[in-house]
Amino acid sequence: MEPTPNAPADETALNAAFEAKIAAGDSIEPKDWMPERYRKQLTRMMSQHAHSEIVGMLPEGNWITRAPSLRRKMSLIAKVQDEAGHGLYIYCGTETLGVDRFDLYNQLLDGSAKYSSIFNYPTLSWADMGVIGWLVDGAAIVNQTVLAKTSYGPYARAMVRICKEENFHKRQGYEICATLAAGTPAQREMLQDAVNRFWWPALMMFGPSDKDSPNSAELLRWRVKRKTNDELRQRFVNLTVPQAQAIGITLPDPDLRYNEATKNWDFGEIDWAEFFEVIKGNGPCNKERLAARNKAHDDGRWVREAATAYAEKQAKKRQTEAA
Amino acid sequence: MTAKAAGHDDEPGIAAGEAAAGTRPVAGARRAALGDPLVELLFRLGDDRLILGHRLSELTGHGPILEEDIATANMALDLIGQAASMLKLAGELEGKGRDEDALAYFRDAVQFRNCLLVEQPNGDFAQTMARQFLFDAYSVLLLDELSRASHAGIAAVAAKSLKEAKYHLRHSSEWVLRLGDGTDESHARMQRAIGALWRFTGELFVADEVEAAAAAKGAAVDLSGVQARWDTMVDDVLARATLRRPTDTAMQRGGRSGRHTEHLGHLLATMQIVARSHPGATW
Ligand SMILES: [Fe+2]
Ligand SMILES: [Fe+2]
């Protein structure tokens, strides 16, 4: 899509056609012309999403070896495996925007790309596996259900497919929480502690407050985003409070109360200073997460080289056999 | 199963697992400790898969490429699923009220019956795949025999596992080929891995009284036949991968009677920590 010398006139027409499609609610497909800024914004969003899936494997992977029953061990492995699949699927989706997924992956490795801040918090007990499924996958679903209607076709379709699995993760996580809540005093204590640690970071997953979200207006107009960060956050709180009540768990917010007028659960002020510190790389596990991804990548280099060398040898063999 | 091995500690020739079962030393003890041979056989089968599946699960999220993370997780899932079915059946036949979780989480290392090969650490990717390949080849051949067992429960679990094991074997042998015939570095690493693990392969084919007794109860396995076919299969892949078959014949054994390498205790310490910290809890 390099502009040709007489592009300006063409581009105006193309842009008008693009805007008309957006206005009509049609989806934008890879073959369609799109403004460079739209392409950039989608590349940013999709790659951040893919990175989040991949980094998100680490905090839960941390408990696979200690899962307390074979059934839980298997479902946790399957969940982490699903996240790998999501990452791969979305990385491939970014390629429809004309970017190389390996370039994007390198940005993750060198620390220049962002991913969801939630994965920079440590997993400290088995209960975290329940709470992450319930709250973190739960928050992701609220985000992704809306993204399933995003204007870029490949991303929307990826979200439909991924959301089904995230729903399953959420149910599974909530089921772990419910089991712990009905368990021994030590199990209940473990669960409450995990909720205390993950509640606020889960609310931060929706991103900065609307007033501090510079890209929002444009993204909403292009129907890339369909709801604001604050709207989605509120929806998540409204959905989650009754679920916490149902299993007798206290959400760690003294300001949480039902507002009869708005029919919303009002909640306290988020610690945005903490949020921006984590985004900047100063969260409790940012360094560990990146180090783990880099170690896997570096340790795997000789394996990837071997696979390439072997494939080349095989191709050459087939050629000489054919000749 | 909390009987102390105290008093037998300094007796050579007695595995602590047998001591725990309250038996006396050496050869006689071995026979006396042998309960239902089908239970013992299922412990061997189930523990092999549980421990190997656990080892693979340690790698989830740390693979050399994303696709391999997915494949490794798949194999771990299959193996742990197979182990769960086998241990469940073992518990039912044993009749002491132990289910698959009680067997996985509340036995000590000396009561595990897995082979030494599967408890070896992941090492580099060559070692992980060499271990997988050496085991998969054995597993496919063994399960093939057991899938024709006259004992219906064992035949069924073997037949179901066999399908998965064939897929694993294809995957691991492809990696042996790629790494063996890839770059100089990968070749050297794979050769080293095969060499390091070779001493744990002899144990797979040692027939003892369990095999004989299990055969009499409807689960016959011809281990020498399995070994011959394993040799052919492994030799073929190694040759195509430009790898040498190790010539050293000094073999380690002990897993089948609960005498493990030092690695197993650490693996179990991790695996069992949560379950054992909350005895009686439901998860
Ligand atoms: Fe996901
Ligand atoms: Fe998920």
Chain A hits for B273, CB-CB cut-off 8 Å, are 66
pLDDT at B248: 84
Compare all CA atoms of chain B with the CA of A305 and give the residue at the minimum distance.
Answer: B183
- Exposed/middle/buried for residue A74 (C-beta within 10 Å: 0-12, 13-18, 19+): buried
Q: Which two tokens stand for residue A184?
A: 């021994």
Q: Of all helices (H) and strands (E), which one includes residue B30?
A: helix B26-33
Query: Do A300 and B64 lie within an 8 Å CB cutoff?
Result: yes
CA-to-CA distance for B42 and B262, rounded, in angstroms? 23
State the pLDDT confidence band at B147, using cuts at 50, 70 and 90. Answer: very high
Interface probe for B, chosen from A73, A288, A316 (most Cβ of B below 10 Å), is A73
Local confidence pLDDT in tens for the 323 residues of chain A: 444 444 556 889 999 999 999 999 999 999 999 999 999 999 999 999 999 999 999 999 999 999 999 999 999 999 999 999 999 999 999 999 999 999 999 999 999 999 999 999 999 999 999 999 999 999 999 999 999 999 999 999 999 999 999 999 999 999 999 999 999 999 999 999 999 999 999 999 999 998 888 778 888 889 998 999 999 999 999 999 999 999 999 999 999 999 999 999 999 999 999 999 999 999 999 999 999 999 999 999 999 999 999 999 999 999 998 88
Q: Which two tokens stand for residue B224?
A: 């020498």
Q: In degrees rounded to 5, what are phi and psi of residue A14?
A: -60, -45
**Chain-chain contact of A184 with B281 (C-beta, under 8 angstroms):** yes
Out of A85, A183, A310, the one facing B281 most closely (by C-beta) is A183
B31, two tokens: 């026979």
b/e for A196-217, b at 16 or more Cβ within 10 A?
Answer: ebbbbbbbbbbbbeeeebeebe
Q: Considering CB atoms only, which of B66, B105, B281 is closest to A187?
A: B281
**Both tokens of residue B168?**
């694993």
CA of A89 to the centre of ligand 2 (A): 13
Average pLDDT over residues B251-260: 96
B-interface mutation test, from A94, A302, A313, most B Cβ less than 10 A away: A302
* Structure-token pair, residue B57: 């699960």
Residues in chain A, total: 323
Per-residue pLDDT for B34 more than 70? no
Residue A233's alpha-carbon distances to A96, A139, A200, in angstroms, are 30, 8, 11
- CA pair distance B107, B95, nearest whole angstrom: 16
A299 contact residues in B (CB cutoff 8 A): 62, 64, 124-125
Tokens of A181: 């809540």
| Closest by Cβ to B66, choosing from A84, A299, A309 | A84
pLDDT of residue B32 exceeding 50? no
Taking only the tens place, the pLDDT of each residue in A71-116 is: 999 999 999 999 999 999 999 999 999 999 999 999 999 999 999 9
Residue A240: the pLDDT is: 98
- Nearest by CB to residue B181, choosing from A69, A176, A313, is A313
* Cβ-Cβ contacts under 8 Å, A306 against chain B: 178-179, 182-183, 185-186
Residues of A whose CB is below 8 A from B104: 70
Q: A117: closest CA among A308, A273, A318, A260?
A: A273
> In angstroms, rounded to a whole number, what is the distance separating the alpha carbons of residues A97 and A154?
10
- Give the model confidence (pLDDT) of B102-125 as tens digits: 999 999 999 999 999 999 999 999
pLDDT more than 70, % of chain B? 88
pLDDT reported for residue A8: 59
Asked if residues A61 and B58 have their Cβ atoms less than 8 Å apart, the reply is no
Q: Which has the minimum average pLDDT: B45-49, B143-147, B248-252?
A: B248-252
Beta strands A264-266; A257-259: pairing state = antiparallel
pLDDT value of position A212: 86
- Supply the pLDDT for residue A6: 47
The answer to whether B125 contacts chain A (CB < 8 Å) is yes
B147 reaches A (C-beta below 8 A): no
- Taking the centre of ligand 1 as the mean of its atom positions, its distance from the CA of residue A84, in whole angstroms, is 8
Ligand at minimal distance from the CA of A173 is 2
Query: Encoding tokens for residue A69?
Result: 């029953």
pLDDT at B21 over 80: no
**Are the Cβ atoms of A307 and B178 closer than 8 angstroms?**
yes
- How many angstroms does the Cα of residue A220 sit away from the middle of ligand 2? 25
Q: Is residue A232 within 8 Å of A143, Cβ to Cβ?
A: yes
If you measure from the C-alpha of residue A126 to the centroid of ligand 2, how many angstroms do you get, rounded to a whole number? 17
Closest CA to A240 of A211, A205, A209: A205
In the chain, the amino acid numbered A247 is I
Per the CB < 8 A criterion, the answer to whether A249 and A177 are in contact is: yes
Residue type, B171: H
pLDDT band for B24, please (50, 70, 90 cuts): very low
- How many Cα neighbours within 13 Å face the side chain of B41? 31
Matching residue, tokens 């300006």 = A8
Q: Is the pLDDT of residue B16 over 50?
A: no
B277 C-alpha to center of ligand 1: Å?
A: 31
Q: For position A10, what pLDDT does the model report?
A: 82
Q: What is the pLDDT of residue A7?
A: 52
B272 CA from centroid of ligand 1 (Å): 28
CB contact under 8 A, A183 and B179: no
Q: Which of B57, B65, B179 minimises the CB distance to A77?
A: B57
How far apart, in whole angstroms, are the C-alpha atoms of residue A91 and residue A102?
9
Tell whether the model's pLDDT for residue B13 goes beyond 60: no
Residue where the block lists tokens 């959905």: A239
pLDDT of residue B23: 34
Res B18: pLDDT: 37
Please count the CA atoms within 13 angstroms of the CA of B227 that sit on its side-chain side.
10
Bridge partners of A258? A265
| Span from the CA of A106 to the centroid of ligand 2 (angstroms) | 23
ipTM over 0.95? The verdict is no
CA dist A135 and A2 (Å) reads 44
What domains does chain B contain, in order, with CATH numbers?
36-277 (1.20.1260.10)
Q: Is B3 exposed, middle or buried (0-12, 13-18, 19+ CB in 10 A)?
A: exposed
